[in-house]
Chains A and B, each alone.
Chain A
Amino acid sequence: MKQKFVKDPSTLMPLFKDGQKILAGGFGISGTPLTIIDVIAASNVKNLKIVSNNLGDNGIGLHQLFIRGQIKKAIGSFFTMNREAVLAWTKGELQIDLLPQGTLAEAIRCGGAGIGGFYTKTAVGTELANGKEERVIDGERYIFEKAIKGDVAIIRAKKADQLGNLIYHTTARNFNPMMATAADVVIAEVDEIVEVGEIDPEHVVTPHVYVDYIIQTAYQKEGGQYVKQRCSI
């Protein structure tokens, strides 16, 4: 059995390189791989293209990478609350590709499923359809959207077994299962790592085939909020 569990997350630093496209799970802070993002921050890699719903929140999560100037382009659905990112965009310091949330999710799903793209009725006739191929199918208008794949996917789950089977926690699941399928290297940050066989096969959401590395999160919940426990990175 390949040893996927990595005790010291900082040893994963060489996996990150300048200019990579990184798929990052999370919706706001919910389901965000905070420890892996700390590793990326410490690695100081630059010109990253980040695919994520938004760019974290107030110095937490991906917002940290933005503040440090590590992000060149953000591909997501909702940057309105990331005021500084919007400002950077107006100054031309940050590129943003805005996609409807469902289109973003489906593009990543397709990326991991060997599908080159798909036709969707979402955004037909809007500014977000500009430059996109339109086609009428059974009398309804659709636009073409390309699939999205990444160099690295960083995802957050609740529990992994040593093989890399994953289960998630409530709405922290969000984009994580699709992202786990759509990148060359997949790193999962989890609360708990158990022996093979301890997760009921009926409950597995992400099968182990997709996962390359597993780390234990350095964050624990206190009063429902994440608080960093270990400071190894």
Chain B
Amino acid sequence: MSNKDVRFKIAPRIADELEDGQVVNLGIGIPSLVNAFIEGKEVYLQSENGLLGIGPPPSQDEFDIDLINAGKEPVTLANGAALFSSADSFAMIRGGHVDVAVLGILQVDTRGRIANWAVPYQPILGVGGAMDLVAGAKKVIGAATLFAKDGSSKIVKELTYPISGIRFIDLLITEFAVFSFNKEEMVVNEILVDMSIEELSDKIGIPLKWRELVG
């Protein structure tokens, strides 16, 4: 599978997690692809730069450089959209009024803490709204290809990339499996490829166990 195919495999699986009536913030990268898979669901997309109710991408005639999402891509206003300042937007985010944040991640540790804003020893100097979303959203879903370009697993025992916050994420969706974090313990919810949990454990180099189904 090409990298593009993989990303398009992760995005619809994330969309499955979203429920009618939720206010959802989609981050940059794989999360932004989720938008294409939520048709028919009544979710309200929030954008950090001051919009609740992102509509479909604009036609050429509708394009307006002022009307953009947090990734600076042109958008439209959905029916029922609301506009507000950046301060109001982050009050909404930090204040726990956003139901779900879907965030691209660089690394996640086995307790569910993530790194998604900087790479060690590289001048990135950008954080945007990443830390606010980690700290404030009611539920955080991490989205990533399971392995970095150098082949290393993005699931690690200890983060080596700069941490994004002390909060533990709820769910991690990769092209291989869906993981959840409960009481600082990582478990496998679902394997999306033809592979046993032991094979997946070997691939990542971390022992894995299934989520216990509560009767």
Contact = CB atoms under 8 A, between A and B. Distances in A.
Interface residues of A, number: 56
B49 A30 contact: yes
Contact of B87 (A29, A109, A128, A223): A109
Contact of B83 (A102, A171, A226): A171
Interface stretch (B2-10, B122-130, B172-180): B122-130
Given A174-B50, A174-B86, A178-B87, A78 B68 contact: no
B131 A28 contact: no
Contacts of A128: 127, 131
Interface in B65-119: 65-69, 72, 74, 77, 83-87, 89-91, 93-94, 118
A171 B50 contact: yes
A221 interface: yes
B145 interface: no
Contact of A86 (B65, B93, B123): B123
A224 B125 contact: no
Contacts of A141: 166
A77 B126 contact: yes
Nearest to A206: B85
A127 B165 CA distance: 9
B49 A174 contact: yes
A109 B91 CA distance: 11
A108 interface: yes
Nearest to B66: A172
Interface in A114-140: 120-128
A225 B65 contact: yes
Interface of B: 47-51, 58, 60, 62-69, 72, 74, 77, 83-87, 89-91, 93-94, 118, 123-132, 135-136, 162-166
Interface of A: 27-31, 53-54, 77-81, 85-87, 89-90, 96, 98-106, 108-109, 120-128, 141, 168-178, 205, 221, 223-226
Name the 5 nearest CB pairs between A and B, nearest first.
Answer: A102-B90, A80-B126, A102-B132, A224-B63, A172-B66
17 contacts: A27-B86, A29-B65, A80-B124, A80-B125, A100-B129, A101-B90, A102-B89, A102-B131, A125-B163, A126-B131, A126-B163, A126-B165, A170-B51, A175-B85, A221-B65, A224-B65, A225-B65
